[in-house]
Structure 1
Amino acid sequence: MNIRFHQLSAQLKRSLAPVYLLCGEEPFQLGEAAQLVRKYAQKQGFIEREVFDADSHFDWNQLAQSAEAMSLFSSRKVIEVRVNKLGKDGGAAVQAYCKRPCADNLLLIIAPELGWKELQSVWAKAVEAIGVVLEVRALAAAEFETWLTDRLKTAGFHPEPEMVALLAERAEGNLLAAAQEIEKLRLVHPPGALTLEDVLGNVADNARYDLYALLPTALAGDRARAQRIVWGLQAEGSAVVLVLWAVSRELRVLAEAAGALARREPLEPVFQTHRVTRARQEGISQTLRQLPPALVRQLLRQCLEVDLAIKGQAPADPWQLLARMIDRLAAAAIRRAG
């Protein structure tokens, strides 16, 4: 059978197949899939594990010899073959194995560089007929966020969508980096609800300059201190994407609230949508009296420019762009106060 990564656990719980072929160039999922197979095999009594690193000089007769040899320590063993391309001899050896699989052996083939042509070969079809073929692929953006959500829930968290989106932005599709971030969160946060503020707050707690003070300082018209905070955050090693998220999130709330006021609609639905606490609601209402809505929209467009610079899609320093944007905000606050 041919399955995807998210189906592997359920398949292993149903029954162990005699042969597993794991392939694909997404290393984190590939490693986790192999570990899952080993784990369930061990539970079923496959205690011994024999590993072959099959390079271009590998003698594929060793596969048949290992399958026929009696185990020294247990009645069952995992035969693990790590290979990039099997070639003619490797394909023939695996095909021969599939014709006479042994109930006391489990063959695990890990082939990261196996391409779609090889998966159409006779030997790969032989594996598919009696065992499991799993190809891991790089996740699309939506799939990556779903993967993150599932992993956070497994870790005991109930993440809000914005927090997941932020983590996806930080990891940039790197599953290993994302898994490490989740492990860090487990060290500093108890199980339960996990919000964007929780993640940003953890960064701010470790920085000398408070990330949350940046926008209020700019809105107070303190241009000098606002710039010290921006460059202090950079010097402390804070991720510019985190700073941008904190600023753009607040600007989005301001823009939507300004739009609601212009339409003579209540602000409560906006506050509920963005989970704005009672303590912050008064500050937002005051800010709306300070800044013209057109400026807020312009600043949001500048956030997009910073984001493109962070991703390398614009030839500019994102910290410089961010500093100029914050200074423009502080200067506008001074003019409105005057």
Structure 2
Amino acid sequence: MKISGDNLAATLSRGLGPIYLVSGDEPLLVNEAADAIRARARKEGFTERDLHIVERGFDWNALLADSRAMSLFAQRKIVEIRLPTAAPGDQGASAIIELAGQPSPDNVVLIITGKMDGRVQNSKWVSAVEKSGAVIQIWPIDLPRLPAWIRERLGKHGLQADQDAALELSERVEGNLLAAHQEIEKLALLLPPGPVTLQTVLDSVADSARYDVLQLGEAAMRGKTSRALRVLEGLRGEGIDPVLVLWAVNKDLQWIARAQHLMRNGQSADSAMNAIYVWRPRQTAMRDALNRLKPSAVRGLLQDASRVDRAIKGVLRTDPWVEMEGLVARFSGVPLSRSKAA
């Protein structure tokens, strides 16, 4: 069957299927859907979890063999398959069709992937999952629907937000569901159950739409120079310590350098980022940077970051914010000349 994310809880309450496919490009909602399936599976005795991240050279035959393996002492398990794109290839498609067509009573298969286009939705492997289990398509929450989504989420915590409060909160998070989720959780901790008014939001909620150090690195990695420099100027205007700003930018650069090293040794970008524990919400932006920046450019940016550090410490007789501006611009793709100060 094919169901929406909103109907997943009701579907799971009626029983657990043998195979699920969760698809979408909204990380918060995709993760929540997968969590709901795992929770139901654990409740029904599937206590182990085998995670398989599909990348270049992935052995589908080994996965099939493992899923068929029976043991007197084996526990029931969740076989989780993460696809970086909704294209498992011919071998992967055949394996998924087999998993769907010959389900094991000792396994629940959970496949997680990004948004599927019309061609993929009509593919044989997706149809096999739909026939045997469930396909859950997660759609983003657009801005007009965000206030209602916020009110519903607050309601689960016993908080009844009026229309103005929900609208204000949606504007503050700029459509970012992860930020909205964080603010909802914060309100649930701060407030007792009851009404939430516009004044409550104004008094209790930090402005999540303001510029922060993580947005700076994300904009730079995506090559959005104007956005990155606006964020940097906002940080400077808010009086943020340049040490914190440099830490955030340097962390992204270090991650990129380490990922490039692993990629030179044969790993895919996704595998490399997972291996060095890049936060999942940053992986899309970092993938853009890995595609755009050569290793030599990253080494130069790390040298620039060291120069900013010396400026902050007063070793260089130059404005650290000016040095930071040059670093951020070059990180995002604009080759500003370097200061001659020493």
TM-score (norm 2): 0.58
1:46–1:76: 8 Å Cα contact kept in structure 2?
Answer: yes
Deviation at residue 137 of structure 1 after TM alignment:
1.6
Secondary structure (helix, strand or coil) at the match of 1:20 reads: strand
2:47 aligned residue: 47
Q: 1:135-165 CA deviation, whole Å, 9 max, x = no partner?
A: 1121122332222111100011011111011
Q: Does 1:78 align with 2:91?
A: no
1:153 aligned residue: 155
- Distance in 1 of aligned mates of 2:160 and 2:122: 41
- Distance in 2 of aligned mates of 1:203 and 1:99: 50
2:338 aligned residue: none
Q: Does 1:191 align with 2:193?
A: yes
Secondary structure (helix, strand or coil) at the match of 2:28 reads: helix
1:174 aligned residue: 176
Secondary structure (helix, strand or coil) at the match of 1:117 reads: helix
1:27 aligned residue: 27
2:67 aligned residue: 67
1:48–1:71: 8 Å Cα contact kept in structure 2?
Answer: no
Decide whether aligned partners of structure 1 residues 202 and 73 sit closer, same or farther in structure 2, where only a CA change above 3 A counts. farther
Match of 2:108 among 102, 106, 109: 106
**Amino acid of the residue matched to residue 96 of structure 1?**
E
Q: Decide which moves more: 60-69 or 46-55.
A: 60-69
Deviation at residue 96 of structure 1 after TM alignment:
1.2
Secondary structure (helix, strand or coil) at the match of 1:3 reads: strand
- Distance in 2 of aligned mates of 1:203 and 1:98: 46
Q: 1:232-272 CA deviation, whole Å, 9 max, x = no partner?
A: xx8589xxxxxxxxxxxxxxxxxxxxxxxxxxxxxxxxxxx
**Amino acid of the residue matched to residue 185 of structure 1?**
L
- Distance in 2 of aligned mates of 1:107 and 1:128: 13
- Distance in 2 of aligned mates of 1:159 and 1:203: 13
1:240 aligned residue: none
1:48–1:78: 8 Å Cα contact kept in structure 2?
Answer: yes
Deviation at residue 73 of structure 1 after TM alignment:
6.3
**Amino acid of the residue matched to residue 156 of structure 1?**
G
Choose 1 or 2 for highest CA Rg: 1
- Distance in 2 of aligned mates of 1:49 and 1:161: 42
Pairwise CA RMSD: 1.9
1:163–1:199: 8 Å Cα contact kept in structure 2?
Answer: yes
**Amino acid of the residue matched to residue 129 of structure 2?**
V
Decide whether aligned partners of structure 1 residues 83 and 73 sit closer, same or farther in structure 2, where only a CA change above 3 A counts. farther
What are the residue-to-residue correspondences of 1:1-338 with 2, within 5 Å? 1-70=1-70, 74-84=74-84, 85-202=87-204, 235=238
Deviation at residue 11 of structure 1 after TM alignment:
0.5
2:183–2:205: 8 Å Cα contact kept in structure 1?
Answer: no
